[in-house]
Amino acid sequence: MRNQTAQTQGQTELFEAPYRATAMGGFTRPVALKAEGGRLKVVNPRRIMLSRTGRHGVWLYRRSDFDILLYLEASNSGRPYITMEICDLPQEVCRRVYDAVYRAWVVDGASPQYVEKMLEGVEV
């Protein structure tokens, strides 16, 4: 599991999801999803905190806002990969989401925006 910190602010548990876009090509972008009405919906972070250069930071999510948290990543050499951090849905749905993201991100080389749009069509 990643070095995420859960913070308590009153009754709200926040997750810090790391973000990076390095000059060397390294990339980590969180994608949070919520199951609503039989489909997945992309959840926007509550707050984004970035370094002065904007290359590193954290995206803050309220834990109750998402069912799935995954990361679209690329190594400094450009090799794409996926990390599924949290999936509170049935295992079959988690596997379908992972497989769909893998095909789009790793195999087809789709943009993060395309992957998010594609995920909103996944039935749960």
Structural domain contains residue 1: no
The structure tokens listed for 23 are: 């000059």
pLDDT tens readout for residues 47-91: 999 999 999 999 999 999 999 999 999 999 999 999 999 999 999
The structure tokens listed for 86 are: 């949290």
Do 61 and 18 touch, CB atoms closer than 8 A?
no
Structural domain contains residue 49: yes
Mean pLDDT, range 92-114, rounded to an integer: 97
The band of 12, judged by pLDDT with boundaries at 50, 70 and 90, is low
If one counts the domains in the chain, the total is 1
Do 63 and 6 touch, CB atoms closer than 8 A?
yes
Question: What CA–CA distance (Å, rounded) separates 86 from 50?
Answer: 23
pTM: 0.87
Structural domain contains residue 124: no
Structural domain contains residue 42: yes
Mean pLDDT, range 18-40, rounded to an integer: 95
